[in-house]
Chains A and B, each alone.
Chain A
Amino acid sequence: MRAFPGSPDAPDVRPVACRDRGLRETGTLVSKELTTSGRPVAVPQLGPEARLALDVALGVAGVTVGAAVVAVRTVHRVTAPLTRLLWHPPLVPTRFHPATVVADLARTGGADREELRRRAEVLLDAWVPALVAALVERIDITQLVEDNVDLDQIVSTVDLDAAVARVDLDAAVARVDLDAAVARVDLDTAVARVDLDGVVSLVDLDAVVARVDIEAIVDRIDLDAVAAKLDVDAVVARADFDAVIDRIDLDAVAAKLDVDAVVARADLDAVIERIDIVGIIGEVLDVIDLPAIIRDSSGSMASETVRGVRMTGINADDALSRVVERALFRRRHHNASGAPP
């Protein structure tokens, strides 16, 4: 492989300059070295003697060439009339002049050459593909390239940024059938190989969520359909209501509650029908002692004094009855124990 002139890897390789200086062998050597090794090779350094010999040789060559040019011009100038006489002899018709004949031959030869070239192209067009195909069948080009071509070296010299800048990515993407491409992808396998934990750990979820238009998403969701498919019983069975209630600020909820609206929707009649109002009132009156309140407020005969007198009378009645009964019981008991009636 030949190194690219001007590339940073081969700054000193200048085969053209070598040819200008007559160092054809040196250039060939360098070229061979580059071709076989694939690596840039430094120009061999010449010793002073060799350089002197080289200069002498160049000087001799220059003089020789100059002398040859002068000789040729002189000979041409001298032989020009004779040559002109030979190409265009007098007294001979122009069509028989050697120059004319040669020109005709040359023209005919040119036409033949053109015809040959055309036929050769036809033959090449017919044979070259077949030959190349036959060759390619017998040659593993990929292996050949891999063995002989330093792809890394090539790629390193390519200005990929400039190449990408010239690519019309929009147009390229527009031509891609993404649906078909996605349809061919085995997403399950792909997902199985993805380290989702690692991916998620790299994502700034806060920023993502902040950019999400949740209201728009909720507007597009058919909540009725979702709720219809929901097994509410199972959800409720798994819910830890105690924990939920602990986290709820019931005071705040109650503060926001429109009690009037709630009461307006309640079937109070049905509620009242289920309440034993009479029994409740009876219990309440038992507790508050309504008769005492009425007596205190009315100031009727049944005042505290009269009540006390009455109760005193009742207690006295009981006490007297007990005394009498005890006395009678003793007497009866005495009679029953053997005394004569």
Chain B
Amino acid sequence: MTGSEISPVPREARPYQGHSAGLVTRIVANTIDALVVGVIVGAIYLGFVAFRFLLDPRTFVWPSGNFLVSLTTTLFIATGYLALGWWLLGRTYGDHVMGLRVVDRRGRRLGPLRALLRAAFCVFFPIGLFWCIVSPERRSVQDVVLWTRVVYDWVARPGASQRKTLLGEAPMALGPAATSEPVAEHDSHAPTRSRYRREDLEESPDPSER
């Protein structure tokens, strides 16, 4: 993004674009995603009940919930929801509300496999999120393992340069680790209020090296 382009991001949020997101924002985003998953699960459950009611209304009884089945179903739905969101859009609905985007270490959108692995990792090991408190790069355990990052990105739809091509995904311009394109210019001019600077991230992607 050059200086002559117009940024849709509010002026006060521009210095944070491309920086790693912190714990609070990510928890809020995950909570929203959990609500979304709950809505989806509930809708599926109600749809299933309605389907059974339509098959045999006379013998219809409200199905008694099996907790294990329900939990397993919910976890898999959550995994699918997160994986699809991160793979196809780079963000889930919770990420969208909170202005986050999940990218790889080069700032590109995740591939399907890595998105699926990260989704499963997050669903079945949610406590790994709290590693980002102590991580200088605000990386959760999932991020550390899968070499991904969660960054602030208030741009709803990335430009053409970030869209997927036949040869692969173009690097995100806003991604701090992007190598093919410079980071948004306002990042270099605006005062950096976060101490997690882009330089820190590039020096050592792995916090264990520090």
Contact = CB atoms under 8 A, between A and B. Distances in A.
B208 interface: no
A282 B3 contact: yes
A302 B21 contact: no
B25 A291 contact: no
A321 B195 contact: yes
Contacts of A19: none
A309 interface: yes
Which secondary structure characterizes the binding site on chain A? helix
Interface in A281-305: 282, 285-286, 289-292, 294, 300-302
B44 interface: no
B4 A282 contact: yes
Interface size class of B (residues with CB under 8 A): 20 to 34
Nearest to A304: B10
Contacts of A309: 28, 97-98
Interface string A307-323: 10111011011101110
Contacts of A292: 10
A328 B98 contact: no
A321 B194 contact: yes
Contact of B7 (A291, A316, A318): A291
Nearest to B28: A313
Contact of B4 (A279, A300, A317, A324): A279
Contacts of B193: 318
A291 B6 CA distance: 9
B22 interface: yes
A316 B24 contact: yes
Interface in A97-138: none
A291 B8 contact: yes
B96 to A, nearest CB: 7
Nearest to A285: B6
A313 B138 CA distance: 14
Contact of A314 (B4, B11, B22, B96): B22
Given A282-B4, A302-B154, A306-B97, A314 B25 contact: yes
Interface in B18-76: 21-25, 28
Which of A282, A286, A310, A313 gathers the greatest number of chain B CB atoms within 10 Å? A313
B145 interface: no
Given A278-B4, A291-B9, A328-B134, A313 B98 contact: yes
Contacts of B134: 324, 328
B156 A316 contact: no
B90 to A, nearest CB: 15
A314 B13 contact: yes
Contacts of A150: none
Contacts of B176: none
A332 to B, nearest CB: 12
Contacts of B175: none
A310 B193 CA distance: 15
B12 interface: yes
Contact of B10 (A291, A301, A313, A325): A291
Contacts of B194: 317-318, 321
Given A309-B97, A310-B98, A317-B22, A301 B8 contact: no
Which of B22, B96, B138, B154 gathers the greatest number of chain A CB atoms within 10 Å? B22
A314 B98 CA distance: 9
B152 A302 contact: no
A307 B11 CA distance: 11
B24 A294 contact: no
Contact of B156 (A301, A320, A325): A301
A294 B8 contact: yes
Contacts of A328: 134
A204 to B, nearest CB: 73
Interface in B79-128: 96-99
A46 B23 CA distance: 164
A317 B156 CA distance: 21
Given A282-B6, A285-B6, A291-B8, A311 B13 contact: yes
A279 B2 CA distance: 11
Given A313-B28, A317-B24, 7 more contacts: A282-B6, A302-B156, A310-B13, A311-B12, A313-B25, A324-B133, A324-B134
Interface of A: 278-279, 282, 285-286, 289-292, 294, 300-302, 306-307, 309-311, 313-314, 316-318, 320-322, 324-325, 328
